[in-house]
Amino acid sequence: MASVSCIIIYTLLLVSVCFAVAKNTTNSSSSSSSLESESERQALVRTGWWGNQSLLHGDSDQPHCSWTGIGCSEEGRVVSIEIPEYYIEDELGKLNFSSFPYLQTLRLSFCKLNGSIPYQIGMLSKLNYLSLRGNDLSGTLPSSLGNLTYLKRLDVSSNHLTGFIPSELGNLTYLKRLDVSSNHLTGFIPSELGNLTNLSYLDLSGNNLTGSIPSEIGTLSNLIELYLSLNQFSGSLDLHDANLTHLLTLDVSYNSLTGSIPIFKCSTGRLQSLILSHNLLSGNIPKELGNCYSLVELYLSSNNLSGSIPNNFRCLVHLTYLELYDNHLSDTLPPINNPYEGHTCEVTSHRRNSVVLVRYIVLFVTIGLFLMILAFVFVCRKKRKENQDKMLVRNGDICSVWNFDGNLAYEDIVRSTNNFDIRYCIGTGGYGSVYEARLQNGKTVALKKLHRLEAEDPNFDKCFKNEAHILSNIRHKNIVKLYGFCLHNRCMFLIYEYMEKGSLFCALRDDAHAVELDWSKRVNIVKGIAHALSYLHNDCSPPIVHRDISSNNILLNSHLEGFVADFGASRLLDPDLSNQTMVAGTYGYIAPELAYTMVVTEKCDVYSFGVVALEIMMGSHPGDLLSSFTAPQSIQNRMLSDLVDAQFSSAAAASKRNRAFSSSG
C-alpha cells in the first residue's frame, strides 16, 4: 500500500515539475517573441521611412504591424514589407536585414532607393519574393543572394547595377521569375542558371553582357518568356536541340549573334513572338518556321539572311507583325491563306483540320453564349421592371433592391449597420445621413437614411421619392448608381454605389487628397461631370435638370473619378408646361439671373457646372472671383498662377516622378 502511495506522490511531483518547466518555457518563448518583435519595430524606426507622415502616413506611436506596407503574422512577426512607388530617396542599407528572420516578401519598387544591395540580404532565409525594381541602386549583385533558397521571384531591374551575374543564383531552384534587365551588368551568363528548372520568366536584356548564350539555357523546359536583347552576345544561336517546348516569347535582338536561324520545335504550337532582328544571322529562313502556326510577331530585319521566303508562310494566319527589311532576300512574302478557303498548307493535314474544327466549335459556342446572354439580360430586365412596379410588399412595407442576387429584406440591410449605429455614419446630407454598410456578399454600399422628422415632412418625403424615381430610370458611368430603396414603417433609405473618396468638396480641402488630385485627374472629373449633364439634358426623354450641382454633390471613387449624386431636387422638363417652380440649389452655385425667374431650364445646371469647374481648378469656391466680375478692375492685376490651386505644383512634381519611374521600368 505504501509503495502505491509513493508511486502516486512521485507521479504528482513529476507532473508538477513538467508543468512548471512547460510554463517557464512558454513564458520564456513568449518573452523571446516579444523581444524579437520589438527588435523588428526598432529596425523599422531606425530607417526613418515611417516617421515621415507625408510619405507613408505612419505613426511611430502605433504598433508597427499597422503601419503602411507592413504585414505581420499572428505572432506579431514581420513577414512582408511592401512599399511600391513611394518617394523614399534613401539608402537601402538603412534597413537592417538581420532583424527580420521571418520576412517572406520584400517589395521596394520605385522608391528612389540608392546605395548598394547589402551582403546581409542573404540572411533573409525565408524570403520568397524580392523586388527592388526601378530604384537608383548601384554596385554589384551580392553572391549572398544565392542563400535565399526559397526565393520564387527576384526582380532588380531598372537600376544602375554593375559587375557579373553571380553564379550562386543557380542555387535558387524554386525561382520562377528572374529579372535583372536595364542595368549595367557585364560578363557572361553563368551556366549555373541552367539549374533553375522551375524558371518561367528570364529577362537579362538591356545590359552589357558578352560571350555566347550558354546551351544550358536551352534545358529550361518550363521557360515561357526569354529576353536577352540589347546586350553584346556573340557566337551562334545554338538552340536547335533546346527543350523550350513551352516558350511563348524569345527576344535576342540587338546583339552580334551569327549563324543560322534555329529550327524551333513548333509541335506544341505555343511560340507567338520571335524577335531576332539587328544581329548578324545568315543563311535561309527555315521553312520549319511556317509550322509555327501560332506566331503573331516575327522580326528578322537587319541581318544577313538570303534566299527566298518559304512558301508555307502563307499558313501563318495569326501573323500580325512581320519585319524582313535590311536583308538579302530574293522575293516577297506569299499571300496569307484563309484556312477556310481550302488551300493546301505545308503543315500536317490533321493539324490543319483540327484548327478548322476548333474554330468552328469556338464560333458555335460563342454564338450560343451570346444568345444565352441576350436571353438572360431580357429576363433580368423584365424581372427588374416587375420589381420596380410591384416592389416587395411585406406587412405593408416596400423594399426593392434589384442589383443583387435576390431581394434583400429590410432586416438584412439594417443588420449590416447595427441598426444605423453612428459608428457607420460617413456623412450628413440635406435630408438624411449616409452610412457605410458591408453586406453579406462582401459588397460595400452607401445607405442614405431619411431622418424620422424629415420623413414626416411632405417636402422631404417628396425629395426622397423623386430621387428614387429618377435614379432608377437612368444609367450613366458618371452618375452614382442606385442599387435600390426601402420604404419601411420604421425608416426609409436609399442604397447607392459606395464612393471610397467621399465628396469633391472635402477632397479639395484636405491637403493629402488635394495632392492626389493632379491636373489630369481634375480635368477628368470636370469631363465626367460634363458628360453626365450632357446625358441628362440631351439623352434622357424628357430631359432631366439636376438643379443642385455643387462640389458636395460630386462624389469620388477609389480612382478619383467624379460621379454626380443627390437627385432630390431634380426635375423632368415637360415641353408642354412652363416648368416653373421654387428656387432650388446650393447658395453660391445658383445663377443670379435664373434665381428670380423660377423657371427651370438646363442653364441652371450649366452655371453651377461652371462654378464647380472653377472650384476644381482653384481648390476652393470661387466666390471672390465671381463677385469680381462685376468690378473688372479688381482682377486686372491678378495672375492665373494666383488663382490655380497651390497643390498643383506638388501634385505635378509627384506625377512627373511616377511617370519617369514607370518609363524606366
In whole angstroms, give the CA distance from residue 579 to residue 499. Answer: 33
Distances in Å between the alpha carbon of 641 and those of 173, 298, 617, 638, 649?
Answer: 58, 51, 11, 8, 10
Beta bridge partners of 72: 78
| Backbone torsion region of residue 283, taken as left when φ is above 0, otherwise alpha when ψ lies between -120 and 50, otherwise beta | left
Question: Closest Cα partner for 483 from 414, 400, 422, 420?
Answer: 400
448 annotated binding-site participant: yes
H or E element at residue 203: strand 201-203
Contacts 24+ apart (CB under 8 A), 93-99: 93/118, 94/46, 94/47, 94/48, 94/49, 95/43, 95/47, 96/43, 96/46, 96/120, 97/121, 97/123, 97/124, 98/123, 99/39, 99/40, 99/42, 99/43
Beta bridge partners of 611: none
What is the DSSP code string of 135-175? SEE-SBPPGGGGG-TT--EEE--SS--BSPPPGGGGG-TT-
In whole angstroms, give the CA distance from residue 63 to residue 57. Answer: 13
- 632: cis peptide before it, omega within 30°? no
Distances in Å between the alpha carbon of 303 and those of 259, 276, 321?
Answer: 10, 9, 17
Q: What is the 3-state secondary structure (H, E, C) of 276-328?
A: CCCCCCEECCCHHHHHCCCCCEEECCCCEEEECCCHHHHHCCCCCEEECCCCE
Cβ–Cβ under 8 Å, residues 247 and 221 = no
Q: Which three cell numbers stand for residue 305?
A: 539572311
Cβ–Cβ under 8 Å, residues 345 and 314 = yes
Is 548 catalytic? The answer is yes
In whole angstroms, give the CA distance from residue 200 to residue 220. Answer: 8
Cβ–Cβ under 8 Å, residues 533 and 553 = no
Q: Which of 203, 251, 518, 548 is catalytic?
A: 548
Cβ–Cβ under 8 Å, residues 85 and 109 = yes
Cβ–Cβ under 8 Å, residues 152 and 178 = no
Distances in Å between the alpha carbon of 76 and those of 35, 95, 98, 425, 582?
Answer: 11, 19, 17, 31, 61
Q: Which three cell numbers stand for residue 234?
A: 556573340
Helix (H, G, I), strand (E, B) or coil at 237: coil
Residues of the binding site? 448
Residues tagged active-site: 548
Residues of the binding site for ATP? 448
